[in-house]
Amino acid sequence: MNYHKFDAVIIGAGGAGLMAALYASKNANVAVVSKLYPTRSHTGAAQGGIGAALGNLEEDHWEWHAFDTVKGGDYLVDQDAADIMCRDAVGIVLELEHMGLPFDRTPDGKISQRPFGGHTNNNTKQPVRRAAHAADRTGHMILQTLYQQCIKQDVQFFDEFQFMDLLISEGRVAGIVAYHIDSGELHVFHSKAVFFATGGWGRLWNITSNAHSLTGDAPAVLLRKGYPLEDMEFFQFHPTGIYKMGILITEGVRGEGGVLINGKGERFMLKYAPTIKDLASRDVISRAIYLEIAEGRGINGQDYVYLDVRPEVVNKYLAEDGKTNPDGSPRTISAADIEKKLPDIADFCRTYLGVDPITQPMPIQPTAHYAMGGIPTDVDGRILVDAANTPLPGGFAAGEVACVSVHGANRLGTNSLVDLVVFGKRGGIAMAEYCNQVELPPLPENPEAYAQAELASLMANPQGIPAAKLRKAMQEVMMMNVGVFRTDQLLTEALERVRELKKQFAHVYVSDRGKRFNTDLLEAWELKNMLELAEVTTLAALNRTESRGGHARDDYPQRDDVNWLKHSFIWQEGDNFRFDYKPVTIGRYQPQARVY
């Protein structure tokens, strides 16, 4: 047996995992295990900014950020957690700067900030400059900076190890089993604590901004082992993905003044969000786009609309809206500003669409983007095993894979980055403390048994169905039926289809029969995990008979605070599923109608 012993193992090397590693490794012996090289993690794809009420360009307060987060999440946000996140955000963005993160600067040398969807001055209700940014590659700079600090601090990495199993003994976490991709061998990491920072599962849908690697392996394994997942019905569709490809076009484009235009040339968000317009919450805008398309107002009647950042168009609307700079002069944008502030967006459009955003509008459609739900945790990253907040001793999670819940039913732009650094840090600190209080538990008997059985069953079929075929079918049905708008009928159909695909999975065969770097085998296992999550996502969506945030039911169009102001927990028990509920923690903000 390939055996390693650590105080703690962190799985995933994106923003949450690296932040946890930096803090946990100060007081404990830590390993970071990732199926990728750390710098390939999807935090690096985040573009527009990280929200923090620094107030560098205009008045702002973390309480305003907290209110926007709660409202953005359609009041399903736990307000104690949102307070912690938005309060801690200010210090942690400064800390990132101190680590060397190259934020863009204001004329007086401070961190520059831009407007972003749903972030407002709570008095005027107008967009506020809160998103601290480094061009349109803020996530890239966060990932690079945290990885740099890990090198400085000599954090130990196990790159290209696929997590396969969580080990439990004596009722607490005892380590993990991981598959070393290069050798094809299993490794046992024996530890007091395990920290999940594995990101989301956007690859369940066929139009997605997410990397191929985002397949939800960790939550699927936890589900199989009898642990619950929280709020799985809430998955965000970002309004502006590149048409047909899903590649993300940051909200920062609209922060800089970009507007959404339908097939009749209308700036249609005026209708849906008269105050904040193109900077409404993402769920609101994605629904507006679907409605425009459904009513025949897509571009040329097709299923996309335009995102327009051409200077002449932007400047016309900035003037119409009376937008000004901090010094009171009228706000305008030039072609050079776009090249400077949105260089990657310009590059994506030119590369993949052959469209130059300075002279042409960009064809966009909503793209599956972010899991609000996930592994339930408290505000220090401790994994919870039920709706009564019972922790799993030694189990931690943070970032997209976790559900604290700071995003509720819909996440605000920039808050993913805030979430992963704030709760990555808090979880890392809490985990090191835990490690210093407990002894290493014994390993369970035959620790590799589950992982061995999984690999053997995947390799058992000498021929059959390629995993890709089932994956494509799953992604299509999830997009059509478990997307922006849902109904009982659509969801019931999707459930049947996903269950049929799960049955067919028994016939999947892996055509690469080798041991070394067998990514064919890994893709099959990832599909198994995705099918699991597709099923619980659909079940949770069927179960919630209301519309709230990213979960829009055509057959239940209203938010129902009487019956549904609560988090859902779902458990898998054999072939059956069980739900339980947890009340939302309300603080200063009573639920009210959500108008932008």
Partner 1 sequence: MRVTLRIKRFNPERDEKQHWEEHEVDVEPNDQLLDALNKVKWYDDGSLTYRRSCAHGVCGSDAMVVNGRNRLACKVLMKDLGKKVTVEPIRGLPVIKDMVVDMEPFFARYRAVKPYLINDNEPPADRERLQSIEDRERFDDTTKCILCACCTTSCPSFWANGEYVGPAAIVQAHRFIFDSRDMAVHERLEIMNDTMGVWRCRTVFNCVECCPREIDITRAIGEVKKAILNGGVGG
Tokens for 8, please give them.
């703690």
Tokens for 256, please give them.
């800089």
Report how far apart, in Å, the C-alpha atoms of 358 and of each of 230, 257, 316, 364 are: 42, 13, 15, 16
Could you count the other beta carbons within 10 Å of the beta carbon of residue 76?
A: 26
Residue 98: CB minimum distance to partner 1, A = 4
Q: Do 217 and 30 touch, CB atoms closer than 8 A?
A: no
d(CA 57, CA 77): 28
Q: Do 348 and 242 touch, CB atoms closer than 8 A?
A: yes
Residue 147: CB minimum distance to partner 1, A = 9
Q: In this complex, which beta carbon is closest to partner 1, that of residue 243 or of residue 290? A: 243
Which has the closest alpha carbon to 175: 34, 33, 8?
8
Q: In this complex, which beta carbon is closest to partner 1, that of residue 13 or of residue 166? A: 13
Tokens for 40, please give them.
């390939």
Which has the closest alpha carbon to 340: 358, 352, 355, 322?
358
Q: Is residue 530 exposed (0-12), middle (13-18) or buried (19+ Cβ within 10 Å)?
A: buried
d(CA 577, CA 391): 21
d(CA 106, CA 57): 8
Residue 228: CB minimum distance to partner 1, A = 29
Could you count the other beta carbons within 10 Å of the beta carbon of residue 344?
A: 16
Q: Do 487 and 553 touch, CB atoms closer than 8 A?
A: yes
Residue 173 sits at the vertex; the CA angle it makes with 584 and 570, to the nearest 5 degrees, is: 35
Q: Give residues in contact with partner 1 (CB under 8 A).
A: 36-37, 39-42, 44-45, 94, 97-100, 102-111, 134-135, 137, 140-141, 144, 148-149, 151-152, 182, 211-213, 245, 247, 344, 347-348, 351-352, 354, 466-469, 510-520
Q: In this complex, which beta carbon is closest to partner 1, that of residue 110 or of residue 502? A: 110
Catalytic residue among 282, 426, 497, 594: 282
Q: Which residues pair with 391 in a beta bridge?
A: 384
Residue 104: CB minimum distance to partner 1, A = 7
Report how far apart, in Å, the C-alpha atoms of 1 and of each of 52, 185, 308 are: 47, 9, 57
Q: Do 513 and 463 touch, CB atoms closer than 8 A?
A: no
Q: Cis omega (within 30 of 0) on the bond before 405?
A: yes
Tokens for 424, please give them.
């990555």
> Does 499 participate in catalysis according to the annotation?
no
Q: In this complex, which beta carbon is closest to partner 1, that of residue 140 or of residue 254? A: 140
DSSP conformational letter for 374? B
DSSP conformation letters of 17-52: HHHHHHHHTTTS-EEEEESS-GGGSGGGG--S-EE-
Looking up tokens 């049955």 gives: 503
DSSP conformation letters of 413-427: TTHHHHHHHHHHHHH
Residue 348: CB minimum distance to partner 1, A = 6
Could you count the other beta carbons within 10 Å of the beta carbon of residue 508?
A: 23
For the annotated catalytic residues, the residue numbers are: 282
